[in-house]
Amino acid sequence: MNELSRRGFLAGAATATLRRPANAQATAETVNVGVIGNGIRGTFLVESLLKLPDVKVKALCDVKADRLDRAATLAARDNPATFSDYRALLERKDIQAVWIAVPCDLHVEMAIAALRADKHIYLEKPVGITPESIRELLKAAKGSKKVFQTGQVMRSYPYLKTAVERLREGIAGEVIMLRAWRHSSDDMDHNSSSADWFFNAKRSGDLIVENAIHNLDVCNWLVNSRPERAAGFGGTLLWKNDPPGRTNMDGYTLSYEYKNGVKMSFTQLAFHPTGLPHGGWGFQVYGTKGAVDVVYGREGKVSYYKRERGAQPIVLSQSADSAPQDLHFEAFFEAVRTGKTDVPGGLEVGVVAALTSIMGREAIYRKKVMTWSEMGVEI
């Protein structure tokens, strides 16, 4: 899969007109943002920030000069200061919020530093790639009055909210099982700018933590719980030592048992032939009365299937834009301006999503059933 399709799939088309939320008691005060990490995702974030009312991109940071220059050109309207050391950016008193989009192994370190610098934070997913580091992050965030939003952007997608609401109302009865998958037709682009860390499991957290964390977070949301146990198998099945030195997986199968008893089956792979059915992303939530099907593809579609033989599916929600991420970003600034801290995809959601993914990874690595308590993070 090329970079555009891997990243762009999530990035989606940002809508051109952005609204100030109707219920926000917002002041028109400008919020100055610093963006740390100006690679593929950081560039998308800068583009999104530039479209938001009363938001300025006042600082940028990247260790690679060409990326810093490119981002500075993109944000020239706001005349941003540029830094190669993120600590110097954090010292700037005129920056109220930092958006962090660096390789995954650096997330916790930078987020803790940003908390200490008393900034509002948008931190890309995964919040962390080890339980130990996530524990440190939670400790540092305790008592913070600042907004902390994570890159679990799917928490802001209206069609998924509809699926969750209808399931909570009991449309499918009691939820008992879930089947989900993320099947790509190709590996991540080996020439991508993020290939220098993505294929190194020690830096990315491995495919499941860097990538399927979005899917697993949606599973947690649909099921309204968090897993208690995980077991699975996987590895580098097709793309062996390709690119050379690669340590992350390209295929695995996992089973989870949730705290509320729901059983879940999840697969991810990077070799699904384009024409073969059931590629892409899917979520099928089975209840005692029927099942809810969530399709995330060119469009976002949620349908309900009653168990009765011959019953026609009922479309619950349909969205032409399957990845409306701007809503997530708008919610961040609404929270900054109104002082409310319960943003969609907040720190707790990000932590549970990361631990869900890490638990699955460790079950595969250690070839054993992993339990939530073994990760030693209280949340």
Ligand X SMILES: NC(=O)c1ccc[n+]([C@@H]2O[C@H](COP(=O)([O-])OP(=O)(O)OC[C@H]3O[C@@H](n4cnc5c(N)ncnc54)[C@H](O)[C@@H]3O)[C@@H](O)[C@H]2O)c1
Chosen residue from 31, 33, 35, 40 binding ligand X by CB under 6 A: 40
Residues 129-148 interacting with ligand X (rule: CB under 6 A): none
Q: Please tell me whether residue 103 binds ligand X under the rule CB under 6 A.
A: yes
CA angle 336–340–341, rounded 5-degree value: 85
Contact 282, 295 (CB under 8 A): yes
Question: Is 42 a binder of ligand X (CB under 6 A)?
Answer: yes
Looking at the Cβ atoms of 66 and 132, the one nearer to ligand X is 66
Q: Binding residues for ligand X, how many (CB under 6 A)?
A: 27
- x/- string (CB under 6 A) for ligand X, residues 49-68? ------------xxxx--x-
The residue range among 97-105, 169-177, 232-240, 330-338 that interacts with ligand X, by the rule CB under 6 A, is 97-105
When CB distances to ligand X are compared, the closest residue is: 39
d(CA 85, CA 41): 19
Among 31, 35, 36, 249, binds ligand X (CB under 6 A): 36
In this structure, are strands 81-83 and 251-258 parallel, antiparallel, or unpaired? unpaired
Considering the rule CB under 6 A, would residue 357 count as an interface residue with ligand X? no
Nearer to ligand X, 101 or 292 (CB): 101
Is 124 a binding residue for ligand X by CB under 6 A? The answer is yes
Helix pair 131-141, 347-366: axis angle to 10 deg: 160
Alpha carbon of 254 to those of 158, 208, 295, 362, 372: distances in Å?
A: 28, 10, 20, 11, 15
User: Which listed residue (34, 128, 151, 251) binds ligand X by CB under 6 A?
Assistant: 151
Judged by beta carbon, residue 125 or residue 301, the one nearer ligand X is 125
Please identify, using beta-carbon distances, which residue of 166 and 182 lies nearer to ligand X.
182
SS3 state of residue 172: coil
CB of 39 to ligand X, least distance (A): 2
14 vs 106 by CB, closer to ligand X: 106
Residue 102 binds to ligand X (criterion: CB under 6 A): yes
211/205 Cα distance (integer angstroms): 9
In three-state secondary structure terms, 296 is strand
Please say which residue, 60 or 175, places its beta carbon nearer to ligand X.
60
CA atoms within 13 A on the CB side of 69: 3
Cα separation of the two ends of the chain: 36
Give the residue with the Cβ less far from ligand X, 205 or 287. Answer: 205
| Residue 181 and residue 254 in contact, taking contact as beta carbons nearer than 8 Å | no
For CA atoms 95, 123, 345, 136, the dihedral sign is negative
Q: Give yes or no for residue 125 binding ligand X (CB under 6 A).
A: yes
**If binding is defined by CB under 6 A, does position 101 make contact with ligand X?**
yes
Residues 6+ apart with CB under 8 A from 335: 120, 147, 149, 341, 342, 343
Using CB under 6 A as the binding rule, whether residue 37 contacts ligand X is answered as yes
Residues near ligand X (CB under 6 A) are 7, 10, 36-42, 61-64, 67, 86, 101-104, 106, 124-125, 151, 153, 193-194, 210
